[in-house]
Amino acid sequence: MSQVAALQMTSGGSLEANLQQAQSLIEQAVKQGAKLLVLPEYFAYHGCGDISATAQQEQYSTGPARTFLAEQASYHQVWIVGGTIPVAIPDDERAMASCFVVNDEGREVACYQKIHLFDALVDDAKGRYRESDNYCHGDQPVVVETPFGKLGLTVCYDLRFPELYRYLADQGAEIMVVPSAFTATTGEAHWQLLLRARAVENLCYVIGANMGDRTHPKQPTWGGSAVVDPWGNILSELDDGQGVVTAGIDLDYLKKLRQKMPVHEHRRFSVVKPSH
């Protein structure tokens, strides 16, 4: 059984302070025995303003947030799913919301670019969300081999699109990770419900690492970070604020469930990644 952790943050407008907070939570998770750590969406740059300038900095592995992930992973000898980091793309002022997976040697072994962008009206202090103003859609689902199992990489708003999770499960994913900055309004209504649904539908573990600042005056986030098992049980969860949730991942248990209830074999419709 492998120990995993979801890190819940309350990032603000300072890159330095955000990284210090992330470092402290990483240290807590490591002390609790976690070997796979998942950071929230925008963990380093939430509230930091100029996304375009930030994305230029992070275009290369020497960017401050990417360097931080590599150093922390190698120092603690853990795998880290690095939330999202804005990364510049050629010939476009917008960026890609990029989720890097860094191994225990500090090497980037995978990168998922967020596919579903949050353009929505929400009944909160911000009201109108338009991720597509600053980001481009990714189009490639990613599954990565790790010592803990096969990870399916998703981010925040992806959680509302079950076909992505079914596609990842078809590609062998056993653990779905969901770095997020789910709003307080939508999170209260749907966050845990969706984490559990994605776990049950695909008989997989789900690790949801969310921002947790429900009283933020401009952009409140829900928190509720959790690890969910393939039967939909909440193994560990956190309410609001900063903190760490840890739990064990048991792939033998997962395989037994899939043998007893082979839903993947019983399907009558397939999910095919659309061409672009």
Q: What Cα–Cα distance (Å) separates residue 228 from each residue in 59, 118, 192, 193? A: 33, 24, 9, 11
Describe the crossing of helices 192-202 and 162-170 by its angle, rounded to 10 degrees: 30
**Of 246, 270, 258, 245, the residue nearest 163 (C-alpha):** 270
Put simply, whether the predicted model's pTM sits higher than 0.95 gets the answer yes
Q: Of 131, 156, 174, 204, which one is the catalytic site residue?
A: 156
- For 194: left if phi > 0, alpha if psi spans -120 to 50, otherwise beta; the answer is alpha
Q: Of 35, 114, 204, 237, which one is the catalytic site residue?
A: 114
Q: Of 41, 58, 131, 237, which one is the catalytic site residue?
A: 41
State yes or no: is 218 an active-site residue. Answer: no
Amino acid 276: pLDDT: 61
Per-residue pLDDT band for 6 (boundaries 50, 70, 90) equals very high
The span from the CA of 67 to the CA of 69, in Å, is 5
Tell me the domains of the chain and their CATH numbers: 2-266 (3.60.110.10)
Q: What is the pLDDT of residues 113-154, one digit of tens each?
A: 999 999 999 988 888 999 999 999 999 999 999 999 999 999
Q: What is the pLDDT of residues 90-99, one digit of tens each?
A: 888 899 999 9
DSSP 183: B
Q: What tokens were used for 251?
A: 């792939």
State yes or no: is 16 an active-site residue. Answer: no
State yes or no: is 108 an active-site residue. Answer: no
Amino acid 13: pLDDT: 83
Q: What is the pLDDT of residues 178-226, one digit of tens each?
A: 999 999 999 999 999 999 999 999 999 999 999 999 999 889 999 999 9
Sign of the alpha-carbon torsion through 166, 168, 170, 172: negative
Amino acid 127: pLDDT: 85
pLDDT over 70 for what percent of the chain?
100
